[in-house]
Amino acid sequence: MSDPEVSIVVPTYRGAESLTELVDRLASTMGERKLTHEVVIVNDASPDNTWEILRKLSESYPELVAIDLLHNHGQARATICGLAHARGSFVATMDDDLQHPPEELPKLIDVLESNPALDAVVGTWPRDEGLLRNIGSRVHSMIDRIAYGTPRGFHHTAYRLMRRPVVDAIVEHGTRTPVMSPLLRQVTSQIANVPVAHHGRAHGDSNFRFGHGFVTVFTNLFQASTLPLRILSRFGLAAAALATALGLVLVGRWVAGANPPPGWLSSFTAVVFFGGASLFGLGLLGEYVHLIMREVRQPPRWSIRSMIGSGR
């Protein structure tokens, strides 16, 4: 079977209600562009009837590849599992809830085809998702700039289109704790944003919660960057410099004949503060040791129960 021109990878969790419309709209969009394509949908151990829906869809859509995971691995690993099974020269990723309109995919294709120097494009849209999520997006963008050198004004989303070499490099990375956006930046810097439409969720409630957003920022910061350790080391250096300066001041006062202050309050504050900072640093080191152990043990990045579609 010849490889398709475009592969669309969709991780799904509790997305049964939107999958039929998603696959139908993708088939219509790719048909209008006369592009051969495949849709690789990875069921991340969803507890609803997602897999039954995918089995039925595979009977009507020969371009559908459905992968059923044994265990819930999270969006990033489910996405990379889909990338590992995609065969297209161009590979797109998108969400399963129709907030990423399939009809916008040709915009990403046009930009990547017309710019040979680009390795990937990322769809973006004006953000107005409520106060908490807007604040979270700004914090996330700030961390991206500081930790990974993401250019100011560039925004990461899950609506992407990548060339084959980029996809191969991401799949070969082999980490057990992947974070897609930093991983894409590590593979290539030739990425551009493309304005696309963004629709409201068509079915059900979002799986995103404030706690999920906090975990995402935490994951991006700790699992793909040593920024917290760099901050901690610089904090320790600054504290040592400050303590040295204060010591010199006190020695100078003593040489000048001034009575040294009793100092119990400052000593108590310093001990408590730096003791807490030390415990915080140990906690950070513990997180990194845990991540190192996960990588060293090399557990399977994903576990597949079954796969259907496209002759597989």
How far is residue 80's CA from residue 86's CA, in Å, rounded to a whole number?
A: 10
Smallest Cα–Cα separation from 11: which of 84, 63, 109? Answer: 84
Question: CA dihedral in degrees (4, 6, 7, 13; nearest 10)?
Answer: -140
- Count of CB atoms within 10 A of residue 125's CB? 17
pLDDT digits (tens, 9 = 90+) for 152-167: 788 889 999 999 999 9
What pLDDT shows up at residue 58?
Answer: 93
Give the DSSP per-residue string, the chain: -PPPSEEEEEEESS-HHHHHHHHHHHHHHHHHHT--EEEEEEE-S-SSSHHHHHHHHHHH-TTEEEEEESS---HHHHHHHHHHH---SEEEE--SSSSS-GGGHHHHHHHHHH-TT-SEEEEE----S-HHHHHHHHHHHHHHHHHH-PPTT----S-EEEEHHHHHHHHHT--SS--HHHHHHHH-S-EEEEE---PPP-SS--S--HHHHHHHHHHHHHTS--HHHHHHHHHHHHHHHHHHHHHHHHHHHHHTTPPPP--HHHHHHHHHHHHHHHHHHHHHHHHHHHHHHHHHH---S--EEEEESTT-
Per-residue pLDDT band for 143 (boundaries 50, 70, 90) equals low
What pLDDT shows up at residue 45?
Answer: 94
What pLDDT shows up at residue 111?
Answer: 97
Segment of 120-124, 261-265, 271-275 carrying the highest mean pLDDT: 120-124
What pLDDT shows up at residue 176?
Answer: 76
In the predicted model, what is the mean pLDDT of the chain?
A: 82
How far is residue 149's CA from residue 47's CA, in Å, rounded to a whole number?
A: 38
More confident residue, 254 or 269: 254
Average pLDDT over residues 228-245: 69
> With pLDDT > 90 as the criterion, what percentage of the chain qualifies?
50
Pick the CATH number of 6-224+301-308 from 3.40.50.300, 3.90.550.10, 2.40.37.20, 3.30.530.20: 3.90.550.10
CA angle at residue 144 from 196 to 104, to 5 degrees? 10
CA angle at residue 220 from 187 to 278, to 5 degrees? 125
3-state secondary structure 118-143: CCEEEEECCCCCCHHHHHHHHHHHHH
Q: Which of 76-80, 210-214, 241-245, 282-286 has the lowest mean pLDDT?
A: 210-214
As a whole number of Å, the CA-based R_g of the chain is 25
Dihedral angle sign, alpha carbons of residues 37, 43, 44, 49 = positive
Domain assignments of the chain as residue spans, ordered by start: 6-224+301-308, 227-297
What are the beta bridge partners of residue 40?
A: 9, 65
How far is residue 51's CA from residue 299's CA, in Å, rounded to a whole number?
A: 25
Give the CA diameter of the chain: 93
Q: Is the per-residue pLDDT at 78 higher than 80?
A: yes
